Structure 1
Amino acid sequence: MPFRLNPGAHEPAPSLADRLRSAERTQYGIWVCSGSPLNAEICAGAGLDIVLIDGEHSPIGLETTLGLLQAVAAYPVAPLVRAPIGDTVIVKQLLDLGAQNLLIPMVNSAEEAEAMVRAVHYPPRGVRGVGSALARSSRWSRIDDYLARAGDLVSLFVQIETVEAVAAAADIAAVEGVDGLLVGPADLAASMGLLGQQSHPDVVAAVESVIAVGAEAGKPVGVNAFDPEVAERYAAAGAAWVLVGADVALLARASEALAARFVGDAGPEGRASY
């Protein structure tokens, strides 16, 4: 008997943008920065909504990203991949290896956001190179009409991380093809001259102003907040999604707690969160 695919066997999961639009509560996520597929699978099965694979502040490259996406694919989470930089070639590579949801760091203007929209779309709307028959993104041409549908299957999020980006947040949110924003309080604090002070009232106010801008534009805004009280504040302020931890940070704090209990003083308390 000849082999035949089951109908819908290669239909992609809903994008993160689709999930956020239909969500009835704030969505919560965790970073995977270690590069370990085992850690990624543990995080994916924990019951959170989003697993964010970080290609910017980690040793994670293209081949590792592929393995991490494969590790979390069996779980009902939305995998989001952060590119190391908003580069058209890197975006193409991440899309082709199967990153359905992309996050671009350090987007400071509507023009930069528009460039990233072009990077994720095939011509004539964009400039994404056509290699879908060779790529996991189309499941090697097993996804019906992938080339025609790709723009609807991919979601694009951009990061607001500087004073300039906060000032331009309304223009960035208005860019067609940008599905949502993520505020990075750590870099934003540094940009404001408040390095390491993510919970400073001025930083919190700036984050909440972006959340309000997103609500006005109908674009979901996320934020990093490893401090539970701050995370709850941002959720109450209208953040659609909050990233509340990272695999490496959880391991660091948990191992320090063991050392403090069984060995003694393990070092300074109250270490800064991301």
Structure 2
Amino acid sequence: MTISNTYPTAHSTSVSNARLRMLNTLRSGTKAVMTFMAIPSVRHAQIVALCGFDAVIIDCEHGHIGDDSMHNAVSAIAALGVSPLIRIRGTGPDIIKRALDTGAHGLMVPMINTAAEAEAVVRASKFPPQGLRGQGSAFPAIAHGLTTPEYMQSANQTLLTILQIESREGVENVDEIAAVDGVDFLFIGPNDLAQSLLGYTPARGDEPVFLEAIDRIVAAARRHGKWAGRLVNDGVLAKAAFEVFDSVAITGDTKAITNWYTAEVKVARS
């Protein structure tokens, strides 16, 4: 295992903060369970957070989540002792700054294809001297249970920077992406990855090119001392994935609601 970071990150930090449930779970070697949240509502965020997850990924890429709902969800989830993560919609510094100013415990960044893109994300996510992030909000410290000066001292080394590898180009460049200082976690988006590699989605799961790509992503993460995770559809698949991955996201709120109601209505009408 190679860790090339030249400054403390989520993997090597000596900072101890009991509020950071996802980071603490990963650092303890325990398998972490997440889910995606796409529906905007403080009450909905609370309900999802109380289901036993280590982290809830607030989906600002594909979900119906605007800035106001993003802020409200982060505060609601963090208050219940669960880590709020935000999947942002792009890699722009303004998008990254806005998401981090909610107090999110980590960012998930979609469709990272090159090391240069990974470096830009890290640069925008870190305060100087490691990056270019600006300070001006009181909200981030609140979700970490800290004062603003305490947050400023710890944020660079406790933020989880999670990059999604979900394209042919991303797989081809995954070793260089994983080697970037400040990248903590590679996350596989299996549906987009299947579409890129196979021309259809979802994958059946037995296609050699698809399985080889997953192996290559995990190998790169391991080689550079980074965590690896993926999306799965249910708990049975999560248990199987834990043989390989450090963390999984079990589906998302919209699919969970749809699947449960559809199955129960079918039973009721049978």
TM-score class normalised by the smaller sequence = 0.7 to 0.9
Q: Which amino acid aligns with 1:180?
A: F
Q: Are 2:142 and 1:135 aligned?
A: no
Provide the secondary structure at the position in 2 that maps to 1:170: helix
| Corresponding position of 2:256 | 250
> Which residue in the other structure is 2:128 paired with?
123
Q: Which amino acid aligns with 2:166?
A: E
Residue of structure 2 in register with 1:43 after alignment? 48
Contact 2:22/2:32 (8 A) holds in 1? no
1:31 maps to 36
Contact 2:19–2:81 (CA under 8 A) maintained in structure 1: no
Q: What are the within-5 Å matches in structure 2 for residues 94-173 of structure 1?
A: 94-131=99-136, 134-139=137-142, 142-173=147-178
1:205 to 198, 202, 212: 212
Matches within 5 A, 1:213-224: 213-224=220-231
Shift in Å at residue 241 of structure 1?
0.3
Shift of 1:21: 2.0
Residues 199 and 230, structure 1, Cα contact 8 Å, conserved in 2: no
CA deviation after TM superposition for structure 1 residue 83, in Å: 0.4
Matches of 2:81 and 2:150 in 1, distance apart?
24
Could you tell me how far 1:227 is from its partner in structure 2? Answer: 4.5
Is the 1:53–1:81 Cα contact (8 Å) retained in structure 2? yes
The answer for the alignment partner of 1:240 in structure 2 is 246
The residue identity in structure 1 corresponding to 2:174 is: A
The match for 1:91 among 76, 85, 96 is 96
Change over 3 Å in CA distance of 1:101–1:15 after alignment to 2: farther
Give 1 or 2 for the bigger CA radius of gyration. 1
Query: 2-side partners of 1:92 and 1:118: how far apart?
Result: 11
Q: Which runs of no fewer than 5 residues in structure 2 stay unpaired?
A: 1-16
The amino acid across from 1:85 in the alignment is G
TM-score normalised by length of structure 2: 0.85
Task: Kindly indicate whether the alpha-carbon contact (under 8 Å) linking 2:187 and 2:229 is maintained by their aligned counterparts in 1.
Answer: yes
Residues 163, 183 of structure 2: 8 Å contact kept: yes
1:225 aligns with 2:225: no
Shift of 1:41: 1.3
Query: What letter is aligned with 1:75?
Result: L
One-letter identity of the residue aligned with 1:226: N
DSSP-derived class of the 1:192 partner: helix
TM superposition shift of 1:215: 1.5
How many residue pairs get matched? 250
Local SS of the residue matching 1:197 = coil
Aligned-partner SS, 1:73: helix
Contact 1:15–1:153 at 8 Å: present in 2 too? no
Q: Quick check: 1:81 aligned with 2:89?
A: no
Cα separation, 2, equivalents of 1:20 and 1:150: 17
TM (normalized to structure 1)?
0.84
Partners in 2 of 1:150 and 1:70 — Cα distance? 17
Alignment of 1:190-201 (within 5 A): 190-201=195-206
User: CA distance change for structure 1 residues 258 and 165 in 2, over 3 Å: closer, same or farther?
Assistant: same
For residues 193-240 of structure 1, what are the alpha-carbon distances to aligned partners after superposition, in whole Å with 9 as ceiling and x for unaligned? 34213343232332232112212211000100115454333221x200
Larger relative contact order (C-alpha < 8 A, sep ≥ 6)? 2
Contact 1:107 1:165 in 2 (8 A): yes
Identity of aligned residues (%): 32
Q: Distance in 2 between matches of 1:80 and 1:186?
A: 20
2:177 and 2:90 map into 1 onto residues whose CA distance is: 17
Q: Is the 8 A contact 2:164 2:188 kept in 1?
A: yes
> In the alignment, is the contact (CA less than 8 A) between 1:17 and 1:180 conserved in 2?
no
